[in-house]
Structure formats: structure tokens, C-alpha cells
Amino acid sequence: MFKIGNVNIKNRVILAPMAGIGNSAFRLTVKEFGAGLVCCEMISDKGIVNKNDETLNMLYIDEREKPISIQIFGEEKTNLVEAAKFVDRNTNADIIDIMMDYPVNNFVKGKAAARWLLHPDKIYDIVSAVVDAVEKPITVKMRIGWDNKHIYAAENARAVERAGGAAVTIHGRTCSQMNDGVANWDIIREVKQAVSIPVIGNGDINTPKDAKRMLDETGVDAVMLGRAAVGNPWMIYQTVNYLETGVLAEEPSAREKVDVCILHLERLITLKGETVAVREMRKHAVWYLKEITGSNKFYNAINTCETRQEIVDLLNQLVEEVERRVLVAAGAV
């Protein structure tokens, strides 16, 4: 167990913020697999300040998700402060995270926020303004630096700490690295040594053993998993269990995967209505199935589903095929 500000985090495994994925339906499903903390997808400060309906809907939290961190992103201090105040006073989030984890693609190239990592003073200025304006603990998620020649991870983390930030998450890539190459865990270790606030390490944790290795090699207080948990919330359970007992839990069966996928779908329907939920669920369904032998011939059909029933029927059909194969292999039919 560790603490971020006054918030107790029951273990050292955290779900990463992921745009287009990390809404309440996904987070709650992951939470039930034991995540110590879940983080929402990034939410625009301007959308919050302008009370954009779609943005405000993104702030929905199911009580069962707690503790949860809401991540906000923006370009300048005034809006970030106003958005943080809104989240502080109007949501049941436990933590507010400021996003400074920008992969430098064409979209963010010209944006000031992407360049904050070049300026620890700017980070101090922004974080202290937000900290002063709210009650909830403020954290920052950042990349190690702008590019290979400009890595100020320790200075930047110290700026967060000086400003009153309650924790920092370090994604071990530079902005210009996008999502390519490998995450640099040496720099994550440097950051851990540079500050006294909790440090969360992120990047390239694909197995429970990777999580243990990151904790051992860098000394971070917790690990954050992103892609490995997509379509695979069992990864969270397996990681928590491995860290606590040293035992690698079994892989789920096709039936178990499909049942959780359907539960996730039902939650998405409650959140967004059937039409939007089914479209959004197509990609998740394919992710849930990807390790199941013979699932690829279902992908095209899943990607054209328009209703809950169509997806559920396809998923059940796949499980029946898998179960029949097992019986044939065992000579039972």
C-alpha cells in the first residue's frame, strides 16, 4: 500500500490513462481485476471550462472505480486551473492528473504543452497554480524528455515536487520517440532517486514479471500498465497476484474472456447508449479475442455489428467453436 496525498492506494498496480479507451466502463472492469488506482482518458480543459456536454460526460465516475484519477490536458495555465477547480468541486475523483505526456506527432508539434518538458520553471509555474487552487492531490504524468538531447526528467520531477505535486508518473519515452522504441527505465530510476514524492513508472510492462523487474530495477513506488491491459484486464489481476505471491495465475478461458467482454459491453451501453457503445466495442471485442485460436475469422463480422445482440451472438458462437474443438481433441465427440 502507498499514498498519493491523502489517498490510500491498496497496491502498486495502476491502470494508465488511454484516450478512446479509458472511460468508466473500461475502468470499472479493470478495477474489478484489482487495480490499485485507475486513471481516466485525458480530458480537455477547454471542454470543461466551456461546459461542453460531451466533455462533461467524460467526467462520470462510478463509485466502485474509486480511487480514481481524472487527467486533464491543456495549453495554458488559466484554463488548466479553471478546469482543475471544476473537477475538484464537481466530481468524486480522488486525484487530478495534469498530462505532460505528449508524443510529438503533427497534431501536437506546434502546441506549447508539448514543450513544457523543456522548461522545468514552466512546469513549476503551472503545477503550483493548480495545486493552490484545489483540495484534491495533483499529480503529473510526463515523458522523460523532449528528445534524446533534451532529457530533463529529474529536474522536471523536482519542479513538480517543489510546486506541491503529490506524485509523478514517468513514461520512459521521449516525446519525439512517439510510441516507438523501448522505454528507458534508467531515467525512471534517476527520477525516483531525485524526489521524495511517490514515483510511478510506466512503459513497456507487458507481463507480470516485467512489472516486478521495473519495481526492482528502478525502485518506483508503483507501476502503470497501459496497452497490456487493453482487452486483457486479467493482466492487472495476474500482476497484482504475482507481486504479492510470486505465483503466475492461469490464463483465462475463452468463455471467461467473452463473459468479461460482454460485461464491458453492457457497461458501455449504459454509459453511451447502444448505437455508440456497439461501434466503440468492436475494437475492444477484437482485442479481447486476439489470443484465442481461430478468432480472427470473426473479426470482420464483429467490425460490422450494429447491435448488442449481434456482438453477443458472434462471441458465443466463437466460444462454442472453441469448446467443441476441445471436446474433439479429447476424443469426447
Ligand X SMILES: Cc1cc2nc3c(=O)[nH]c(=O)nc-3n(C[C@H](O)[C@H](O)[C@H](O)COP(=O)(O)O)c2cc1C
Contacts to ligand X from residues 129-148, by CB under 6 A: 141
Residue 267's contacts (CB-CB under 8 Å, 6 or more residues apart) are: 24, 25, 28, 29
Contact yes or no for 235/225 (Cβ under 8 A): yes
Question: What are the angstrom distances between the C-alpha of 234 and each of 2, 31, 143, 207?
Answer: 22, 11, 26, 11
User: What is the distance between the alpha carbons of residues 294 and 296, in angstroms, rounded to a whole number?
Assistant: 6
100 is an annotated ligand-binding site residue = no
**Hey, what's the cell of 221?**
513506488
Backbone angles phi, psi at 69, to 5 degrees: -110, 130
**Hey, what's the cell of 26?**
473500461
From the list 13-21, 79-87, 243-251, 293-301, the region that binds ligand X by CB under 6 A is: 13-21
101 touches ligand X (CB under 6 A): yes
SS3 readout for 174-239: EHHHCCCCCCCHHHHHHHHHHCCCCEEEECCCCCHHHHHHHHHHHCCCEEEECHHHCCCCHHHHHH
From the list 146-154, 221-229, 251-259, 276-284, the region that binds ligand X by CB under 6 A is: 221-229
The residue from 16, 113, 126, 144 that contacts ligand X (CB under 6 A) is: 16
13 touches ligand X (CB under 6 A): no
145 is an annotated ligand-binding site residue = no
Strands 95-100 and 68-73: parallel
42 touches ligand X (CB under 6 A): yes
* Location of C-alpha cell 534524446: 148
Q: How far is the CB of 5 from ligand X (least distance, A)?
A: 19
167 touches ligand X (CB under 6 A): no
From the list 60-68, 86-94, 155-163, 201-209, the region that binds ligand X by CB under 6 A is: 201-209
The residue from 205, 222, 240, 292 that contacts ligand X (CB under 6 A) is: 205
**The CA-based dihedral angle spanning residues 117, 119, 120, 125, taken in that order and rounded to the nearest 10 degrees:** -110
CB nearer to ligand X: give 225 or 254.
225
71 touches ligand X (CB under 6 A): yes
* Location of C-alpha cell 488506482: 37
Contacts to ligand X from residues 223-282, by CB under 6 A: 225-228
Q: How far is the CB of 274 from ligand X (least distance, A)?
A: 23
The residue from 74, 203, 208, 231 that contacts ligand X (CB under 6 A) is: 203
Q: How far is the CB of 120 from ligand X (least distance, A)?
A: 19
Name the residues that contact ligand X, by CB under 6 A: 16-21, 41-42, 71, 99, 101, 141, 171, 202-205, 225-228
